[in-house]
Amino acid sequence: MEITVKSSPLPRAVSLVLVTLVLAGLCHRFDAHVRQRIDTMAPLDFANYQRHMHSHSYLFTFIFVLLTGAVYLGVIELIALVVKALAQKAKA
């Protein structure tokens, strides 16, 4: 006799929220660091800094987004597996 269980979208939603909280915190800290650095720059240094920050090739951007997306999805799936394992362990 096989029992089928519907998977709930809740673990994925919780995983998404947790990963988003961590990534948002890291982005906020990085932005604060960059703002502090920009405040000490001369206008010409700032223009050169911005030009350097936005001078990437399409291939670099594609690879970066591809790898970031793969890592993001992997983390979400890993957290979902952990939550699922913990839920099954709690049932037993």
Unique residue bearing structure tokens 């790898």: 67
List, for residues 1-50, the tens digit of each pLDDT value. 566 656 776 776 777 778 878 888 888 898 888 889 888 989 999 888 88
CA distance 66 to 26: 20
pLDDT given at position 44: 92
Which residues make Cβ contacts (< 8 Å) with residue 78, sequence separation at least 6?
Answer: none
